[in-house]
A and B are shown apart, each in its own frame.
Chain A
Amino acid sequence: MRGTGNEHHPLVTPDGLPAFLAYLSQNGRRVLVPVEKPANKRSVVFEPWQEGKPFTMEKATVPAKEAVLPQCETLVRYKKTKDPDNIERVTMSLDDKPEAQPTVVFACRPCDARGYVVLDRPYLKGPYADPYYKARREQLTVVTLTCGSGCNTCFCHWVGGGPTSPEGSDVLMTEIEGGYVLQAITPRGEELLAASTLAEGAELFPKAEAARKQAWASLTPAPNIKDAPEKVAARFTDTQFWQDQTDRCLSCGACTYFCPTCYCFTITDEGEGLSEKGGRRLRSWDNCMSSLFTREASGHNPRMLKALRMRNRVSHKYSTYPENWGAFSCSGCGRCISNCPVCLDIRAIVLAAIDDGNDDKKSTDK
């Protein structure tokens, strides 16, 4: 890993942040910053930064996933035109250019950044690269704020990450007294910082490193779940187990739509080629907790039970994805727990799955 020793480590003071954001938003870059929405429930979302628009350095309620995988995107726009001389001759024009613009995600957390890495594998590293995802990903710069501590639902350190993990980030920011110390992680990050006019703060970097150590220290030790892939897979036929784990699940999509690593989608066509709006082929998020996810045209549904759907979600994150890509498809951000209307805790399910009675790994949440 790069980024230790005596390198360029700019410092941003809190009041210097707007200027820095202004810099980031140069040459048409869209800078997504966490914005706290006025509401009785804490609700922090990523929105394009604008001069004077208030933002926060808080951990967002929603992941920064939308930067590369929008909730809904138009894959193809098509317009039809009729030949006036022969109205049976209809010609169609297609526009399938990905909507992508240079983007900086600012002050997301290491769990968000690791989310991109999880998404990259199926979307870029598989037999086919998804052009839409690719276009956005290639223009994405991730400026991550390391966490000063975990919170009650955080478990990034269980799954190979951590409050200061650089994975997926181009730049790491670490808060210290009086400002944020920046550290380039990738060449793209280096470029970004090099061009900035920020004050040098290399001498403060040790403070940052201390803060990072402190962050790790604040975490409750993680249980060992390295054998989760086999153990979870072994539960596949144990429907009773999944039913016991999911009896209270409401089958809504909160866990998946707020997950930085969930990437399932559905495709629908809307509109009419001959209308002014034209026709649209949409790609929108889909979620495996809904019974529609696997309902077939015939009406047959291999995952009628919510237990089987939960089995799919947990198995995918902790067993099948690791089999395919060698890492969990979970960055431990805990949003699926904090946003679940019935506080379903994936940590508990995983621990229960790997707990076959003869070892002492106990859930940390009870």
Chain B
Amino acid sequence: MRIGVFICHCGSNIAGTVDCAKVAAIARTYPDVVYADDPMYTCAEPGQAAIEAAIHEHKLDGVVVASCSPRMHEPTFRRTVERAGLNRYMLEMANIREHVSWIGKDMEANTNKAAELVQLAVEKLRNNKPLMAKSFDVNKRVLVIGGGVAGIQAALDCADGGVPVVLVEREATIGGKMAKLDKTFPTVDCSACILGPKMVDVAQHSNITLYAYSEVEDISGYVGNFTVKIRKRSTYVDWSLCTGCGACTEKCPAKKTPDAFNELTGTTTAITIAFPQAIPKKAVINPQFCRQLLKGKCGVCAKVCPTGAIKYDMEDEIITEEVGSIVAATGYDLMDWTVYKEYGGGTYPDVITSLQYERLLSASGPTGGHVKRPSDGREPKNIVFVQCVGSRDKSVGRPYCSGFCCMYTAKQAILTKDHIPDSKSFVFYMDIRAPGKMYDEFTRRAMEEYGTEYIRGRVSQIYPDANGQMTVMGVDTLLGQPVEIKADLVVLAVGVEASKGSPQLAEKLRISYDSYGFFMESHVKLKPVETNTAGVYLAGVCQGVKDIPASVAQGSAAAAKVLALFSKDKLESDPQIAQVDIRRCVNCGKCIRCCPFGAIKEVEIRGEGKAQVIETVCQGCGLCTSTCPQGAIQLSHATDNQILAEVNALCQC
């Protein structure tokens, strides 16, 4: 081999504590090194040009660059050597900046260490082989999981971009949490009025196939070619016939059915349509309360249905869809706030969640938009809002901030004043977090224009008294004195957590999730939309708490990623993947058991079972390589011999 070594000064970043010229001199003594130099800035245009020139002049077939971290400039120098006609994998880097010059002052030790790191790189390189990427077709369809505002945005943007979209929503209607909101901050405009049109667009868009009341059962395949199994849960109503006229819901005798859409603030019928603007506007029977399904006698809805859409014997259906990319937008749920026994733990009817309060405020809610408290239907005069219930609270395992509670609490305080002019609102808060456009101004309006009283402190206890009022005990940490407020209604700003079933979905998607169930992005700052599974993107709160504008933005961002991915007709697979030496493979199956991506399958070759790597699925972790006892499966670019060469370079006594 003919290796060229380039020891970068990085100005004084490296040269300051490493004798680069000496390192280059030592490098010249290494095997196969035929050229070594120590340029000022290797990554700069002249530096790269020098590398290309040296490759031509000295007929190099491998290059070692000793400079900053490969995580920084490996792609740069791979392109450099490629321009000069070398395979991009015939480059190795020695990190002598982050790992040497920046962490030690001792010139002698640093120089010696740098020289050794260069030696490692040379020894590794001597075992490198050119690797070629393979290309494969892309199925230009996208699956969006979750029909909340983030999912809707992603679906619409993709669809507008000409990409067929499969939208899967767990509930009977899309719209997610936003559809339950009365108004939105900081503009106090009607949630339904701004979300509604988008929902209708989804229903009407020729590029969007919507599966409501459905869930993702299984996902296999890889970027460009996923196969998705979708479970269409039984609605007992043939939606192809249902017109959403609502005749059934009027006549249904099971009127005591808890109303999930209204956050259980009211009741509905066993057969129901979630809300007037529901998309799809179709009826669904709740089998736990339908008399026909429970006792086998009733059948009223079937009688009244003008189109004969009721099908009591309907069963779940599994549908298979082929897509090339997936956007996860599964949103959130409220944490179980009943753990707060000091707040009644859900036993006091007049201590409710903020989302329930939204329904009380909403014209389409159970009270028709008139704020009545659940216990006796009286209009509350004193309303206490308690923030950070299940946020920033280690004691209940929720150390993070839910982000938008400060804002909607201010909004709800303002709306309360609008609904009940002679009412008085109190807000217990820890800190007010209003970092958005017009946000802080908004909270100030709540205090200054609407006279909401903000008390900085946590509520220690809430208990009912004889005359049906709640006593809220807390402390004003600014005045440093305890406060006690009589409230007709207490609204808890309950913190959010990843929606139920997120971990299970993450495992189907083969992406990772944090200890609260939020999906992990590729890079917390620089890749907030990507995941570590190629072709799978994130939108909305499923990745971390955010408000509506941020969710919509990420929905569009995810769509942009999908469209960018689909802008190519073929994808290139990373050649740094495992390869099986079928002569050595004894088909013991250990690699197949371990592979986190299901990327290894057993095939029969001339009557013998052998392991085979599915190139497009393999992510290149190398777990199989360290699992295979006979070393028959080797991870390209990190083979046993390559790593052993490095170990031997360091340990040779």
| A residues with CB within 8 A of B | 80, 82, 84, 87-88, 272-277, 299
Contacts and interface: CB of A to CB of B under 8 A. Distances in A.
Given A87-B33, A87-B34, A82 B28 contact: yes
A272 B31 contact: yes
Interface in B638-653: 652
Nearest to A84: B28
A93 to B, nearest CB: 16
Given A80-B31, A82-B29, A275-B31, 4 more contacts: A84-B28, A274-B29, A274-B31, A275-B652
B295 interface: no
B583 interface: yes
B31 A87 contact: no
> Interface size class for chain B?
under 10
Contact of B652 (A82, A87, A273, A277): A277
Contacts of B30: 274
The main secondary structure of chain B at its interface with chain A is loop
Nearest to B27: A87
A274 B121 CA distance: 16
20 contacts: A80-B31, A82-B28, A82-B29, A84-B28, A87-B28, A87-B29, A87-B33, A87-B34, A87-B35, A88-B34, A272-B31, A273-B31, A274-B29, A274-B30, A274-B31, A275-B31, A275-B652, A276-B652, A277-B652, A299-B583
Contacts of A277: 652
B538 to A, nearest CB: 47
The main secondary structure of chain A at its interface with chain B is loop
Contacts of A80: 31
Interface of B: 28-31, 33-35, 583, 652
A340 to B, nearest CB: 25
A274 B35 CA distance: 16
Contacts of A88: 34
Contacts of A276: 652
A280 to B, nearest CB: 12
Contacts of B28: 82, 84, 87
A88 B29 CA distance: 10
- A-B CB proximity, top 7 nearest: A274-B31, A87-B28, A299-B583, A88-B34, A272-B31, A82-B29, A87-B34
B31 to A, nearest CB: 5
A84 B34 CA distance: 11
Contacts of B31: 80, 272-275
Nearest to A86: B34
Contacts of A273: 31
A82 B28 CA distance: 8
A88 to B, nearest CB: 5
Contacts, number: 20
A80 B583 CA distance: 35
A273 B32 CA distance: 11
Contacts of A87: 28-29, 33-35
A275 B652 CA distance: 9
A84 B25 CA distance: 9
A88 B33 CA distance: 8
A171 B649 CA distance: 50
Nearest to A271: B652
A84 B26 CA distance: 10
A273 B31 CA distance: 8
Contacts of B33: 87
A276 B651 CA distance: 12
Of A80, A82, A273, most buried by chain B (CB within 10 Å of CB) is A82
Contacts of B29: 82, 87, 274
Contacts of A82: 28-29
Contacts of B34: 87-88
Nearest to B58: A88
Contacts of B35: 87
A87 B31 CA distance: 10
A275 B35 CA distance: 18
B238 to A, nearest CB: 62
B512 to A, nearest CB: 40
Nearest to B30: A274
B478 to A, nearest CB: 72
A299 B652 CA distance: 31
A184 to B, nearest CB: 47
Contacts of B583: 299
A272 B644 CA distance: 14
Contacts of A272: 31
A80 B30 CA distance: 11
Of A80, A88, A272, most buried by chain B (CB within 10 Å of CB) is A272
Contacts of B652: 275-277
A13 B35 CA distance: 71
A138 to B, nearest CB: 35
A256 B22 CA distance: 53
A279 to B, nearest CB: 10
A274 to B, nearest CB: 5
A183 B652 CA distance: 50
A204 to B, nearest CB: 54
A330 B605 CA distance: 42
A88 B57 CA distance: 14
A85 to B, nearest CB: 11
A324 B652 CA distance: 45
A273 B28 CA distance: 15
A112 to B, nearest CB: 36
A274 B123 CA distance: 12
A314 to B, nearest CB: 28
Contacts of A299: 583
Nearest to A90: B31
Nearest to A277: B652
Nearest to A275: B652
B1 to A, nearest CB: 12
A126 to B, nearest CB: 34
B150 to A, nearest CB: 55
A274 B31 CA distance: 6
A92 to B, nearest CB: 12
B397 to A, nearest CB: 55
A126 B33 CA distance: 44
A263 B550 CA distance: 78
A186 B569 CA distance: 86
A277 B649 CA distance: 11
Nearest to A299: B583
B62 to A, nearest CB: 15
A272 B31 CA distance: 8
B449 to A, nearest CB: 80
A299 B581 CA distance: 11
Contacts of A274: 29-31
Nearest to A81: B29
B63 to A, nearest CB: 16
B36 to A, nearest CB: 8
A291 B300 CA distance: 80
Contacts of A275: 31, 652
A273 B29 CA distance: 11
A224 B512 CA distance: 76
A77 B33 CA distance: 22
A17 B31 CA distance: 54
Nearest to A295: B583
B653 to A, nearest CB: 9
A272 B1 CA distance: 14
